[in-house]
Amino acid sequence: MNSFQLVDEFKDIETERGVIAAIATRPDLYWELLDFLPAEAFIAESLAWQNLAQAIETEKPVAASVTGLTEWKPAADPKAAAQHLADLYQRRLLAGLQENLAAALYGSRPAPELLGLLDEEVARVQSAVRETHAGKLQWAGDLIGNVLAEAENRQLQRQETGNAISGVATGLKRVDELLNGLGTGLYILAGAPGAGKTTLSLQIAQHAASTGTPVVYVTYENSPSNLVLKALCARAKIPASQVERGFGNTQALRWAALELQPIFDKLAIIEGNSKLTVGQVRGKALQAQARHKAGRCLVVFDYLQRAAHTAGYDQLRYNVSAMAGELRDLANRLNGPVLAISSQNRSGGDYGKGGGSATLDSLKESGDLEYSADAVMFLRMSEKRQIPPPARAVDIVLAKNRFGDVGMVPLVFRPDLGDLREEAVR
């Protein structure tokens, strides 16, 4: 196989030493330049940088922390030198991308697979670059311009489209009015078993895809094929149980498949397992955004408690708390919404009775999710409305909403058809 070595061309040992020497001379520069200097910016003198950083952060003598420091000449313009090192780091990332792609070009993989590899490599580089901005000190005064520009853009968008919803629309009008769609943040959808959580999540995913937003649906409960079958049956208005027993109208399913094909092209499904990490999902989401040239992506986790077993703690509660924090970070990194299905504790979920509480403390055994989430929604059987079976009267209760008011929206659930719709306003 052909070998390509481009990464090593983008390093500058003298500048690395110059920046380290300048900071050692004036330790206060460390805090000023830290935003420009990810640890990966130092490739030749990485150990010296680590020792210097540790000495400054622990307020220990700097001179003794770096071997050979007295022989290094401080950079004349430390800020410009630091920015140069950061630029070289990003170029090394791009060079690594080019190396991997060039090596693959001379391999046996088909060209379509190489395009997929390119998407993955670009997503990896974008993710790495974004990580360098995490934790950066941002002064409120410096953000004013961007905030005002975003407000003006939203106003212009509303005037041009007539649509006042700026987030990813769920397809449920009154829910969107309460939430302003799904914006950047973590959204929790909770309920008892059989309440319709997967049905609603799959509907939201399809609606988002139909409006041009790519979706990455991570499933731990249903297989990817089963989710596709559910979607086809819902569109064809055929019970999935009939199809599984061989009594389904296959012609109706084919028509449904033709209608849903443009939507399915923007809906990617990942079968979750114990080895899947949030970082890997982030990479796949960035890949989906790059493929569809989209500014945001909806990520769905079905469901949170199963995904949380990978967090590494002995108790599920702590795993879920850690996972919720990772998902919120994921939303911020992607600048888009993450929708996570959650179970409730047995008393709150009213297991076996068909009811269910819509109070935040019913999530207590699920790791204090009410603190991590930007919005919490519950699906529960309606206590007042009566609907002839097989339909069920279901309410979606918005119990927490950082973006606006809380409230309740009445729905009609057809579990046999896998369909949840808003009740018609009388």
Going from N- to C-terminal start, the domains of the chain cover: 7-131, 166-422
The tens digit of pLDDT for each residue in 341-370 reads 988 865 554 544 445 566 776 765 555 677
The tens digit of pLDDT for each residue in 245-295 reads 898 899 999 999 999 999 999 999 999 888 888 878 888 888 888 888 898
pLDDT exceeds cutoff 80 at 307: no
Rounded-to-integer distance, Cα 123 and Cα 109, Å: 20
Least confident of 90-94, 317-321, 400-404: 317-321
**Cβ of 324: how many Cβ atoms within 10 Å?**
27
Place of tokens 């079976």: 389
Rounded-to-integer distance, Cα 18 and Cα 115, Å: 41
Rounded-to-integer distance, Cα 120 and Cα 25, Å: 42
Can you give the pLDDT at residue 344?
80
Can you give the pLDDT at residue 217?
97
Can you give the pLDDT at residue 104?
84
Rounded-to-integer distance, Cα 175 and Cα 420, Å: 13
Q: Say what the pTM is.
A: 0.72
Rounded-to-integer distance, Cα 237 and Cα 249, Å: 10
> Are the C-beta atoms of residues 288 and 234 closer than 8 Å to each other?
no
Angle at 344 between CA 342 and CA 345, to 5 degrees: 145
Please name which of 387, 414, 383, 386 lies closest in space to residue 397, comparing C-alpha atoms: 383
Angle at 308 between CA 305 and CA 314, to 5 degrees: 105
Instruction: Tell me which of 1.10.569.10, 1.10.10.60, 1.10.860.10, 3.20.20.330 is the CATH number of domain 7-131.
Output: 1.10.860.10
CB-side neighbour CA atoms (13 Å) of 87: 8
Can you give the pLDDT at residue 122?
76
Angle at 404 between CA 393 and CA 338, to 5 degrees: 75
Most confident of 110-124, 193-207, 336-350, 359-373: 193-207
The tens digit of pLDDT for each residue in 212-250 reads 999 999 999 899 999 999 999 999 999 998 898 898 899
> Are the C-beta atoms of residues 349 and 193 closer than 8 Å to each other?
yes
Interstrand relation of 407-414 and 392-401 (parallel, antiparallel or unpaired): antiparallel
> 423 is written with which tokens?
């009740």
The amino acid that residue 350 corresponds to is D
Higher pLDDT, 368 or 118: 118
Mean pLDDT of 119-146: 76
Instruction: Tell me which of 3.40.50.300, 3.40.50.920, 2.60.120.1060, 3.30.1300.10 is the CATH number of domain 166-422.
Output: 3.40.50.300
Angle at 298 between CA 294 and CA 300, to 5 degrees: 155
Can you give the pLDDT at residue 181?
94
Can you give the pLDDT at residue 252?
94
pLDDT exceeds cutoff 80 at 3: no
The amino acid that residue 57 corresponds to is E
Higher pLDDT, 368 or 191: 191
pLDDT exceeds cutoff 70 at 29: yes
pLDDT exceeds cutoff 80 at 86: yes
pLDDT > 90: what percent of the chain?
A: 45
